[in-house]
Structure formats: structure tokens, C-alpha cells
Amino acid sequence: MKKIIIFLFCLTIILLFSHQEKIVIPKESIRFRIVANSNSKNDQELKWQINEELIPVLVDITHNSNNINDMRDSINYNLREIDSIVNKYTNSYTINYGQNYFPQKEYKNVIYPEGKYESLVISLGDGLGDNWWCVLFPPLCLMEAKQEDINDIEYTTYVQKVLKDLF
């Protein structure tokens, strides 16, 4: 009986803390999007290569921005660096910082309506492929990128240890 009570207690704790948080993009935000030329393997890989090299630059930009106006200034100040990174991979692209169209998106169980949003958009070639997008300010995608870097670390909680010892 004691094991069942402990098990139910632990299960309740796990369920309470394991729900997936919904992330809501604030109205005052800046999005970021890279649109691949097409859905071919090469075009999608190119999109990810550019994304991988841009993330550290974007982390620096957001790190130095305390509010949305700082972020706007940082993006404008760093557009040449962003351009030079993309240009290393292809010379067929456009970069637009301003009001850009976004189709309806679902992210973390929240549906975001289509519309024009303040954003930094990089379109590779014809820009007809799948895209990668996130929220630059507040830096939601960059926090998630940092989170993904630590996914390989194994964490053990007290509850996990108790459950393991019980069974």
C-alpha cells in the first residue's frame, strides 16, 4: 500500500511538471525567418547551414538588446554582417527587415494567425521551400536553441530516482 501511495504521489508530481508550456508571442515582437529556395535536399541543407552560422550572431544581437528599440537598432547595425554570412553560401537571396507576410503557424500548441509582422526575413533563391522561423525579440528561439544544446545531458530528478528504486 505504501508503494502505491508513493507511486501515485510521484506520478502526480511528474504530470504536474511535465505539461508542455504554451509560448505566446507578444504583440511587440520581432520574428526571424529563413525561406529555402525549394524543398530539395540541397536547398534545405543550405537553409540549415546558413541558420547554423547566423544563430551565434543573433545571440549576440539579442544579448545586447534590452528592449525592442535596442533590438531594432542592433538588427539594422548588423545587417551587413548578416548579409556577408548569407553571401558566403549563395548570391541568390534577399534580406528584408520590416513588415513581412507570415502564413498561419502553429508552435507549441498555439496557432498564430497569418499577417504582416515586424521581422527579419531571408529568402534564398525563389523562396518557395519550407522555412525555419522563430521569434528574435523577445529571444524565444534563441533560448530554445540554447536548450537544444543541452538536450544530450541526462538529468535525474529525485522523483525519477524514487520511481527507479521502487521498481
Cβ-contact 10, 163 below 8 angstroms:
yes
The stretch 149-154 carries a mean pLDDT of: 36
3-state secondary structure of 22: coil
Per the structure, the count of domains in the chain is 1
pLDDT in tens, 61-83: 888 788 999 999 999 999 999 99
Cβ neighbours for 21, distance < 8 A, ≥ 6 positions apart: 108
In a domain, 12, yes or no: no
The domain containing residue 113 runs over which residues? 30-149
Q: Does residue 160 lie in a domain region?
A: no
Residue 139 to residue 151: CA distance in whole angstroms: 19
53 within some domain: yes
Residues 6 or more apart whose Cβ sits within 8 Å of residue 102: 31, 33, 112, 114, 115, 116, 117, 119, 133
SS3 3: helix
In the structure grid, which three cell numbers stand for residue 124, read together? 534564398
pLDDT tens digits, one per residue of 18-34: 555 555 777 888 999 99
Pairwise CA distance, residues 14 & 151, whole Å: 19
Cell numbers 541543407 label which residue?
A: 45
pTM above 0.85, yes or no: no
Is 70 exceeded by the pLDDT of residue 14?
no
Taken as a whole, the chain contains a residue count of 167
Residue 155: inside a domain: no
